[in-house]
Amino acid sequence: MSFTRQLSEMSASELNDAIDDTNFPQAHIISRGRNNSVCSTSSTSGTSSLADRVVAQPEETQPPSSTGSEEPAPINPNRPRLILKSSTSIPENDGTQSSLTPQTPRTSTTPGHENCTFHHDLELDHKPPTREALLPDMARSYRLLLGGLGENPDRQGLIKTPERAAKAMLYFTKGYDQNLEDVLNGAVFDEDHDEMVVVKDIEMFSMCEHHLVPFYGKVSIGYLPCNKILGLSKLARIVEIFSRRLQVQERLTKQIAVAVTQAVQPAGVAVVVEGVHMCMVMRGVQKINSKTVTSTMLGVFRDDPKTREEFLNLVNSK
């Protein structure tokens, strides 16, 4: 598999193949002290996984910054950044054409969507002409749905429901309208900080792609910076980009971790998502107290048990 393409061009299964075994780090624990491992992102698994896509690169072998500006001297010259082989750093927003513009054609063949560029669920950067243009078609579909339920779509209480429902669905999936570069808005700062940054309990609302019902919960993100830190709110905004789409929780978890890696090329990223799936609560198996926990550990969080433990302790502390 070639790993020279942009993240936005990778299919869901390709991304999963690349970082699948970064989930559930218990299976990959190795004994190494933090002082040693903090400068290492070497993978403990086979070459078809994380090591192929996410590699530690010494400063001198990093791709040049897209702005051409000088990188500051590293805090620890031995600490390589966690870099996605398939991507470059997020360029500063200079108002010109995004280097993240998708190269692949859309995959949707839905009539009326010929000009839409946003039908790849992994795209970070699609800019649909206007999703509002989808409203009339969506409203018509909801009207049919109401009729299918045996309801009278023309009764007073339902007359505006198809349009309301269409607008609500557009809101629930507004992440398709967002891209990482715009969301970051240049809030990546050079900073001599090499201790863990954790933002926890970020509320998350998403839509189960299997049943089109919500799942919700909280996301905790940690990263170990390498000279660059991210505006704190941007971590929560990254959660919004990917949660406001049709999702499965596992993919959501990975996409958040990969996006943080793209944004600041840290030494490692950790993401834990705890979700309640309404498809398991209101229907189906009807387990109202069940929670699903997923995690993605990249770089030093994956390789070093102590770093991972420090993160998990911070996340689990009240």
Ligand X SMILES: Nc1nc2c(ncn2[C@@H]2O[C@H](COP(=O)(O)OP(=O)(O)OP(=O)(O)O)[C@@H](O)[C@H]2O)c(=O)[nH]1
Please report the DSSP string for 177-239 in residue order: G--HHHHHTT-EEE----S-EEEEEEEEEEEETTTS-EEEEEEEEEEE-SSEEE-HHHHHHHH
Total residues contacting Zn ion (rule CB under 5 A)?
4
Binding string, residues 191-210; x marks residues near Zn ion by CB under 5 A: -----------------x-x
Contact positions toward ligand X, by CB under 6 A? 208, 210, 248-250, 277, 279-280, 284-285
Has 210 been annotated as catalytic?
Answer: yes
Q: Which of 208, 226, 265, 274 is catalytic?
A: 208
Q: Which two tokens stand for residue 14?
A: 């390709």
Greatest extent of the chain over all pairs of C-alpha atoms, in Å:
69
Name which position in 145, 246, 279, 281 contacts Zn ion (CB under 5 A).
279
Q: Which does 249 bind (CB under 5 to 8 A by kind): ligand X, Zn ion, none?
A: ligand X
Q: Which does 248 bind (CB under 5 to 8 A by kind): ligand X, Zn ion, none?
A: ligand X
87 by DSSP, 3-state: which?
Answer: coil
Nearer residue to ligand X within complex by CB, 230 or 280 = 280
Q: Which two tokens stand for residue 69?
A: 């500006």
Rg (CA), the chain: 21
Q: Which residue is nearest to ligand X (CB)?
A: 284
Has 126 been annotated as catalytic?
Answer: no
Residue 257, Cβ density class (10 Å: 0-12 exposed, 13-18 middle, ≥19 buried)? buried
Has 277 been annotated as catalytic?
Answer: yes
Does 211 contact Zn ion by CB under 5 A?
Answer: yes
Has 279 been annotated as catalytic?
Answer: yes
Per the CB < 8 A criterion, the answer to whether 258 and 245 are in contact is: no
39 by DSSP, 3-state: which?
Answer: coil
Nearer residue to ligand X within complex by CB, 267 or 272 = 272
Smallest distance, ligand X to C-beta of residue 110, A: 23
Per the CB < 8 A criterion, the answer to whether 90 and 184 are in contact is: yes
Smallest distance, ligand X to C-beta of residue 248, A: 4
Nearer residue to ligand X within complex by CB, 75 or 279 = 279
Q: Which of 178, 249, 255, 262 is catalytic?
A: 249
Q: Which of 132, 203, 209, 309 is catalytic?
A: 209
Nearer residue to ligand X within complex by CB, 99 or 173 = 173
Looking at residue 223, its amino acid is Y
- C-alpha count within 13 angstroms, C-beta hemisphere, residue 213: 11
Has 211 been annotated as catalytic?
Answer: yes
Nearer residue to Zn ion within complex by CB, 214 or 231 = 214
Q: Which does 284 bind (CB under 5 to 8 A by kind): Zn ion, ligand X, none?
A: ligand X
> Alpha helix locations (H) across 121-179?
135-148, 161-172
Dist CA 155 CA 135 (whole Å): 21
* Sites of contact with Zn ion (CB under 5 A): 208, 210-211, 279
What positions carry a catalytic annotation?
208-211, 249, 277, 279
